[in-house]
Structure formats: C-alpha cells, structure tokens
Structure 1
Amino acid sequence: MTDLNILQDHVRFGDPHVTSDDADRLSILSNVFEALVARTADGSFVPILARSWTLSDDARTWHFDLRDNVRFHDGKPFDADDVVRSLRRVRDEAVGGELGTTGVISSYLRDVRIAGDSAYGVQLSTQEPMADLLDLLADIPILSDESIEALSRGEYIGTGRYRIVDYNAYSVRMALVESDRRTHRFCPERLSWSSIEYDDERRERFSRRERTIIAGVTPDSAKRLERLDKAMIIRSQTSVCATFMFNLLSGVATSRALRRAINYAIDVDSIIADVAGGEAVALKGPMTSQHLGFNPNAPGFPYDPDLARSLIDDAGLDQPIELVLDVPTTLPDEARDLAIILSEYLAAVGITVDIRVHEDRPAYAETVRTKQINDAACFDSSPVSTFRLLREKFHSGVAGPWWLGYDNRYVNELIDRASRTADIETRRVLYQKAFAMISDDAPWVFLYNPYRLTAISETLAEDTSPAGWSPTTGGLLKFR
C-alpha cells in the first residue's frame, strides 16, 4: 500500500509536550513521536524506546534500559540525555496544557530526581512511592535537544515511524521513515490527514477516495455509511466518562442519599439510545473498561424511580429540591441535550432543574478546576490512568484539579496503598475496592462511556482483519 487518506475534525497538533486528551491531535503526534513505554488494553505496559525497566520494592526508584539502535528523523542517535531533557521539560508548567490541564503532569514530576546513569540508562527517584509512574511516562513523547529547538521553527522531529513532510491549518502530510526496528503489513508509505469538520462533506469525500479512513465518526454518519455498504465501522473502547460531577463542597448535592437517588432516577440505557445513537455503554461508576481496577460486574444504578423517590424522602431535604446544572456548549457537544433529558427524569421524582449554559469552553474548564460550579457540572474527560483519575478527582488529601469535595478516608487509604504497591495485580485489586466505594457514594451522575467510531473504506477492509491493523484501544490511529 502506498497512500492513505485520513479525514478528521481538525489537524491541529502543536507542541507534543502540551497536556491534552484530544484524540485527533494525539493520532497525528503518535505517528511522529514515541514514549518510553506504551499502555496495553489490560493496563500493563510494553517497551517502546525503553528496552526494559525495574522498580524497587519501595516503589520509589525506577531504572530504564534504553534501546541503542534508535535515531531521530534528523539522524541524531537517541540516548539517555534525550529522556532526561524531555522529562525535565514536561515538568515545566510553562509548557502548558489544554482545557485546564496546565501543571497537571508537572505536579507529579516536580520532585522526581531524573538522571542518566549511562549512555542508555536512566534512573528516576521519587520522594513518595509512585508505582504507577509508567501511566505518566506512556503519555510523554521523547524529544532531543535539537527537536525541542526545532519546535520554535515549526519543525517536528521525532523517532516515530513517520516524519512530517508539510502541514498547514487544513492538512498534514507524512512519509514513512525506513527502519528495521518494526514491521507491519499495514504500512502506508504516505499519510495524508485532512481537516473536514462537517459530516456531509466527510462522507462525500470518503465516497470519492479508495483508501480512506474517517476518524471520530458520529453515530448518525456511521449508520448511514453502513446502510450504503460504503465502509466498515470499527468501534473502539475509550476511557471517556460522560457524566455530571456533583459539587460536594456546598449545596444540596452534599447529600449522599440525594446523589444516589438522582442516579436511580435516570434511565441511562434510554439516554444512550437517544443521545449517543446507541454507541456507548452505561457507566457503573467512575471508571471504564480501560481503567485498571474496573469491575464489569459492579451493580451500578439500574433505573428505579420508586427507589429514587424513597431515597429523596429519606434525605430529609427542604422541599422543593432544585438542582442547578452547569453545561458547556462543546466537549461534550451533547451536554445541553443531556441536561434537558436529566431535567425531565428528575421532574418525575420531584426535583426541579435550572440549566446554566457556558459558551466559553476553556473558561468552563477553569470554573470546574477552581471549584466554582453550581450543584453539578457536565464533563466528558477522564484520563486512562487510574492513578491520575483517582488522585485528581477523588483523593481528598490531594484535592486535585478536578476534585469537587469527595471525602472518604478509606478510599484515600486504598489509593495511597496502591501507590506503594509494585505488583500490578495487587494494585488492580486495591483499585477495584476504591472503585466500588466511590461508585456507592455516587459523587457523579454516572451516564455513559462512548465508543470512538472509525470508518474504513471497503478497499482497506482486507487490511483491517483481526490479524491486521485497527485503531488502538482508545481509537487513536497509529500505524506501526
């Protein structure tokens, strides 16, 4: 295969060290840059630029042996200095982050001692136990000093399978870098990424091109393409939680009984059918199947309006109960629809809803981060790292950027124990216990975990068999 066309909402990418969970951006960057390790579907990790690693029994000292046969696109050999420089750069808050994430990753690395101990060896020493450090490193691309300097000139030099040939606001073209380190039978020589925002135009372009992928297909477009036999649709599990996060610092949502009642009052399966086009699975708590510690057998909150009314009565709150919901206009795009549907379900159990719409999405994220929300705020972002998820949103001792007042000392203890536990399976059990406790306390309105849909043209179908290529877990388009 020679060329592959990829259509997606946008082709913005920028500095690879800027914190982001934008799938379109990450798909582009992941083909150009590489990290030390990569995350697998079961929560474990495989080597990429690292050859192997060890962790001390006290979960404070990591040692990485690096590959000695890797070169950047400009020909410079990869070595330990590149790892040290990249990790130190990422912990500089000046690098920034999208939608309120500035300083999030740097906060974890701020006190980490980062040093090379040989040309191809790096040691990381943390002041506190950090058994989940790989969760962070998997999302940090490694750049050389020269490639960091090149960013200021708009040049992107990585170690990945592809190099950027040219780009503008609407397209990115890449060419395959010859390498004997990796081989894969689905390996286009050239990738052409195009920014096409509107579904109709993407479908029309799709029908005219033989080798084409549409990233982030909407459920409606997926159904149309399937009906026309124009494409194979691949449904990828993601770590995204579509939810309303309750304000547990003040207001009516400080009542645990009310929070649980609200979750029982909502028919999530119907919401998935109506709002998500059926392309999602109901949340049973604050994790998805992509998170270490997720329990697929958790009971969740099945639709039970009678139980909801009983819990509301038991809550002993002043009547009438009013809930004020904050919603953005994007991310998730369906936030206003979700708020309207929630208001209808809650009216049936005696709760009135006032919806406050926020047009400025970055400002909305900052409102959540500074804990200035009303009773609940719609949000759709959740890091795939269980370590980050629990510390940033639920550990009251940390009171992280997205923490909104949840306080359970037993959960705090489980999270802290997991940080001290080097064995991943033991950590999984600890996180499962935390998942169960948090779910039972209902600090969120648990809605759904959406699939990321990818449309593959018919001519590519034979290359996307079970033994061939498919998007990564999470739906990123990586070609390795």
Structure 2
Amino acid sequence: MNGIACRVGVGARSSRSSRPSRTSRTSRQLGALLLALVMLFAVAPALAVRDDLRVGVQLEPPVLDPTMTSSASAGEIVYANVLEGLTVIDGEGRLQPRLAIDWVRSEDGLSYLFRLRRNVRYHDGKVFDAHSAASSLRRIVAPGSANPQKAWFAKIRAIEVDSPYQLRIRLSDPDALLPFALALPAAVMIHPDSASGNAQRPVGTGPFRFDAWIPGSLVRLVRNASYWGRSPALARAEFVFMHTTSETANMLSEGLVDGLLSVTRLGERFMIRPDYRLSARRLESKMILAINNGRPPFDDLRVRRALSHAIDRERVRTLYGPQFSPALIGSHFPPSHPAYVDLVHRYPHDPRRARQLLDEARVPRGFEVELVVPPTDYGRYGGLMIASDLEAVGFRVELVEYDWTRWMKEVFGGRRYALTLIMHVEPMDLDIYARDDYYFAYDNAAFKDIWRKVRSARSDEEIHRWLGEAQRRVTEDAVNVFLFMRPEQNLMHRDLEGLWERSRIPSFVLEDIRWSAPASRQ
C-alpha cells in the first residue's frame, strides 16, 4: 500500500514550482482514494460475517438415507437439512407441519387427511406432491421394506391421493401417534426417481443440498438456492468425522472446527476457552446395557434381574466427569416426559442379591460372557465399568469393541451377541419392545397388548396411563439394564446462534444457525 502511494506522489511532483498544481492536487486526492480502497478491501474479509460452518461428529454413518439405516448418525446430518418429512419436531420440541400444511383426523380415528405444500421441488427439480408423498410412504410399509421405523406404520391400511396436494392415510386401528411418527428421520419424503441413489447422494426438498461425502473425512452440504421456505444464513456446512479423542482435541484447539456435537468427557478441557461454550440438547438418549433375552442364561428372568442388581449405575454415570450428573432411569423412558414413572429404585445396586439370583438360576461362577461396545467414548470408558461390576458377581467378561458397521450387522441385525452397552437416541421409542425380531429378542404378549392400547388411545390422559404400564412391564421383565439419560451437550463457538437445542430428534438442524458477529478461523 505504501508503495502505491509513493509512486503516485513522485509521479505528480512538479520540478518547476514549489506551489502544488491542480494536477498534483488531483493526483494526491486520487492516491488517497486508492489507498482508502486498498485498506478497505484489506480489512473487509476480517470484518465479514462468516456463512460457513464445520462441526465435528463422532460417528460416520453407513449411509446418508435415514429410511435405510437404524444408525442415528445419518439423520443427524441430513434430517431437516437435506431431507424433510410431512411433519417435524421443531427447535422447541413441538410437533409442527413441514411438507404438510395441516392434517385432520377423522372422528373414528381411522383416517388422516394431509394437505401438502405447493411449489416444493426436490433438489433435482422433481415436483413434490401427493403422488411422490404416497410413493415415499408406500416404500416404508412395503413387505420387503428395511425401514428402521416400519413398525410405527403397521396400522396403515391404505395410502390414497385425493388430489395433487391432498394425501389420505387409512388405518386398520386408530393411531393417535401417527403425526409424531411422520416426524421421525426414517419417515422423510423420498422421490421414487432418486430413492436408489440416496444412500450415497441424498436428494431431498430441504434448505441444504448434498454436495460431497469424502469417506473417513466429512460430508459437505450447501445452501439450496431454490428452497421453498426461508433461505438459511449459512451457505455451506461440513460435518467432520472425529475418529479419536486426541484428533478431536487437536482440531478444537487449533480452531479447525467450530463446534462438536454431543460432547462427553472432552468438553471439560475447553470450558475455560472464551470462544467456546457448552449448550444443552434436549434429546432422549437412553444409555442401556442391552441383553439378548433369547440367549441362555439371559432367557432366565432371574439372571436378567441379577444383572440389574450387579450394575452400580451411580458409578457408571460418572464416566462423563464431575461436570455432568446424568439422570438415572429405571425403564426405557425419559424423566422429562409427563408420562414418566420413577422406577429407578426397582433394582438397587446389590451384588449379594445378584449372586443369590445367579445361584438360583444355576449360573456357575466364572461363566464367560462377551460384552460388545461401540467405538464411542461411552463404549470405551463405560464398558470397563460394566465389565468390572459383572466380574464382581462372578462373570468372566470379554470386552470387545466393534466398529459401527459391524455392530449394526452382528448385534442389531444378526442378534449375535450376549450383552452390549448402547445408547438409544430416538424419542418415544418404547415401541421397540413390541417389535418382532428386534435385537433384544423380547417377545411378550402382555407388553404388545399394552402398546396397542397406547396407540389406540383417544386422549392424552389415556396415552399417559398406558405408557406408564408399558414402562412398568419392561422393568419387571428386566429386559435390559436401564442406566441413565446421556447428558447431551454441544460445544459450539460462542458467536453461533439459532441451534435447535430443544428438539427431541437427534439431528443438527442448520436452517436457523447464523454467525452473530464477524469471526475468522484461527
């Protein structure tokens, strides 16, 4: 900049007179103007409000289509960002219309009529209407469907197109929870022409388009310029896969990511940093020691109850450090729900009682059991605590870590396991205990009858009463060892606003996120 000013000044100097000429004054003014412009453009990038975002996530999804996988990591990236449903659980945790404008339930509870939004297009230009919506729902309920939430839609008898933007769903029995089910990530609207490629390149109607997936590294989304709703402030967002704790710490300390989803032990190290802040997420993530109820000796109720007495939940929940105090649970249900029943003290920590039950069931001391854990912090740290408690009552435990793909195949899909420490993150997922062939191998007619009454209830009071009975049933049957609610926290740059922190859906929704002040990479 100084060089430019000097050259202009020297070139304009007069050798015949010390009095500034009109030409020299003009030249100096021009030089000053050029200098100001140079300085303006030099500082502009530092003052500009950013429109990009990089967030770290622990697990890389096996696919990017949540209608194809039980891994919540897919929905965490694409739900409400790339792919949208007829309804949505919004940032305040409320059920709201999304691609539907509204819906009406018939008096007998056997049908719903949904009015759909007009002028909505998929990212490839295809039109969203009642025909594409009907096709998407038919994929969910098809006989060969692998949709992870298919059981939620088992009561659908017919899907009808009343008009181009009116969709009718007919039911075999009343279902008060259908609008909620349609807000789940597994119920997003998929166009039939792009369905086959959505696993790798999802095509949706959302405010962001899929741009790239670099396996082992990141997924990149970019703003959808043709979005039917309000345009988001962010132009680009990258979800960066954090494979190890040290890698995560390094990227945070160097400012290479703007935040981290669902931090656990790591967050404490960055609490003192003024440019990051911890913020709570209102998710319903339930930590359980899942039991294969179909594998001896765990098909014996006494053995399952022994496990519940053996585990010191107060100690296990300290794996997140002194900063967090997760809420203990006694069933597969969150304490924040109005239908919650406190069953925490049904199985107090009592190693002596655990050994007594094992002796009654004739489980020999030193019985070998494999405990499978996923590649997460809670798996690595919590697995050691669980193994220690089990060995204290006579088991010999082999701790085995599976990557996510293997866990989904061997444990979730194949039920080739005895015990596994796992986090269930979906909201209102007590229905999984009524599913045939679920990986718990729990098949109980009494529970299925209770769940039918939940789904057919006609009032909130009736729903809550039967939800309470459902909680009591799975606890009495000691289907799993229910531990605690994971303390969901995001570690985010302090200048980020608009995070959906009260939504019960495990997703990082981008549409309201913006930078509140100029920020730059470190």
Aligned to 1:50: 100
Shift of 1:84: 0.8
User: Which residue number corresponds to residue 504 of structure 2?
Assistant: 473
The code of the aligned residue for 2:456 comes to: R
Q: Secondary structure, in 3 states, of the residue corresponding to 1:281?
A: coil
Q: For residues 196-224 of structure 1, what are the alpha-carbon distances to aligned partners after superposition, in whole Å with 9 as ceiling and x for unaligned?
A: 4333333443344498222243x232011
CA 1:236–1:416 in structure 2 vs 1: closer, same or farther (change >3 Å)?
same
Aligned to 1:80: 130
1:202 matched to which residue of 2?
248
In structure 1, the partner of 2:484 is 448
Does the 8 A contact of 1:84 with 1:114 survive in 2? yes
Shift of 1:231: 1.1
Answer whether contact 2:329 2:335 (CA < 8 A) is retained: no
Name 1:327's counterpart in structure 2. Answer: 371
- Of 159, 165, 169, which residue of structure 2 is paired with 1:120? 165
Tell me whether 1:427 sits opposite 2:463 in the alignment: yes
Matched, 1:284 2:330: yes
Pair 1:320–1:15, CA change in 2 (3 A): closer
Distance, in Å, in 2 between the alignment partners of 1:206 and 1:257 is 47
Change (3 A) 1:36 1:322: farther
- Greater shift in the superposed pair: 143-152 or 23-32: 143-152
Q: Summarize the alignment of residues 192-271 of structure 1 with structure 2, pairs less than 5 Å apart.
A: 192-209=238-255, 212-217=258-263, 219-249=264-294, 251-271=296-316
After superposing the two structures, state which structure 1 stretch, 80-89 or 63-72, moved more. Answer: 63-72
1:436 aligned to which of 465, 472, 495: 472
Equivalent position of 1:383 in the other structure = 426
**Structure-1-length-normalised TM-score:** 0.80
Decide whether aligned partners of structure 1 residues 358 and 57 sit closer, same or farther in structure 2, where only a CA change above 3 A counts: farther
Question: How far 1:107 sits from its partner (Å)?
Answer: 8.6
Match of 2:441 in 1: 404
Counterparts in 2 of 1:327 and 1:134: CA distance versus 1, 3 Å: farther
One of 159, 163, 171 as aligned partner of 2:209: 163
Rounded Cα–Cα distance in structure 2 between residues aligned with 1:477 and 1:266: 33
User: Is the 1:281–1:449 contact (alpha carbons within 8 Å) kept by the matching residues of 2?
Assistant: yes
Q: 2: distance between equivalents of 1:24 and 1:441?
A: 32
What is the CA distance between 1:413 and its match in structure 2? 2.5
CA change 1:414–1:44 in 2 (3 A) is farther
Residues 77 and 239 of structure 2 are in contact (CA less than 8 Å); yes or no, is this contact kept in structure 1? no
Amino acid at match of 2:439: W
Q: Is the CA contact (8 Å cut-off) linking 1:8 and 1:24 kept in structure 2?
A: no
Partner of 1:7: 56
String of CA shifts for 1:80-137, please: whole Å, max 9, x gaps. 011011112234576646xxx5xx6279459631121111111112334443333432
SS at match of 1:206: helix
* CA-CA distance at 1:268 after TM superposition: 0.7
**Identity fraction in percent:** 18
Q: Normalising by the residue count of structure 2, what TM-score does the alignment of the two structures yield?
A: 0.74
Q: Using a 3 Å threshold, how does the CA distance of structure 1 residues 426 and 382 change in structure 2: closer, same or farther? A: same
Tell me, in whole angstroms, the C-alpha distance in 1 between the residues paired with 2:340 and 2:78: 29
Distance 2:256 2:411 in 1: 45
Give the one of 110, 118, 121 matched to 1:60.
110
Deviation string 1:250-273 (CA, Å, 9 cap, x unpaired) is 634444444334323332121111
Supply the distance in 1 between the matched residues of 2:196 and 2:423 (Cα, whole angstroms).
34
Larger radius of gyration: 2
Which amino acid letter does the alignment assign opposite residue 141 of structure 1? Answer: V
Q: CA deviation at 1:149?
A: 6.6
Residue 5 of structure 1 contacts residue 211 of structure 1 at CA under 8 Å; is this kept in 2? yes
Matched pairs, number:
456
For 1:304 and 1:351, how far apart are their aligned partners in 2?
15
Superposed, 1:97-176 pairs within 5 Å as: 101=148, 105=150, 108-109=153-154, 112-138=157-183, 139=185, 140-148=187-195, 151=198, 155-169=201-215, 170-176=217-223
* Counterpart residue identity of residue 431, structure 1: L
Determine if contact 2:141/2:154 at 8 Å carries over to the other structure.
yes
Q: Unmatched 5+ residue regions in structure 1?
A: 393-398
Deviation string for 1:224-268 (max 9, x for gaps)? 111334411123243333322334446344444443343233321
Contact 2:218 2:238 in 1 (8 A): yes
Distance 2:355 2:219 in 1: 56
Change (3 A) 1:286 1:406: farther
Q: Quick check: 1:11–1:193 contact (8 Å CA) kept in 2? A: no
| Distance (Å, rounded) in 2 between the aligned partners of 1:183 and 1:406 | 46
1:90–1:106: 8 Å Cα contact kept in structure 2? Answer: no
Q: For 1:469 and 1:424, how far apart are their aligned partners in 2?
A: 26
**1:346 and 1:202 mapped to 2: Cα distance?**
31
Residue pair 2:427, 2:504 contacting (<8 A) in 1 also: no
Q: Which amino acid aligns with 1:456?
A: M
Give me the CA root mean square deviation: 3.8
Q: Deviations over 1:146-165 (max 9, x none)?
A: 4447649x654321111234
Secondary structure in 2 matching 1:174: strand
Q: Distance in 1 between matches of 2:201 and 2:355?
A: 61
The corresponding residue for 1:396 is none
Q: Is the 8 A contact 1:71 1:159 kept in 2?
A: yes
The answer to whether the 8 A contact 1:418-1:427 is kept is: yes
C-alpha spacing 1:459/1:342, structure 2 compared with 1 (3 Å): closer
State how far apart, in whole Å, the 1-side matches of 2:208 and 2:378 are: 35
Q: Structure 1 residues 66 and 292, CA, compared in 2 at 3 Å: closer, same or farther?
A: farther
Q: Aligned partners of 1:452, 1:188: CA distance in 2, in Å?
A: 24
Q: 1:316 and 1:144, CA in 2 relative to 1: closer, same or farther beyond 3 A?
A: closer
Change (3 A) 1:193 1:362: closer
Q: Secondary structure at the match of 2:448?
A: helix
1:385 CA drift (Å): 3.4
1:360, 1:199 → 2: CA distance?
15
Conserved in 2, the CA contact under 8 Å of 1:326 and 1:358? no
Q: Report which stretch shifted further, 230-239 or 192-201.
A: 192-201
Q: Which SS does the other structure have where 1:191 is aligned?
A: strand
Deviation at residue 179 of structure 1 after TM alignment: 6.9
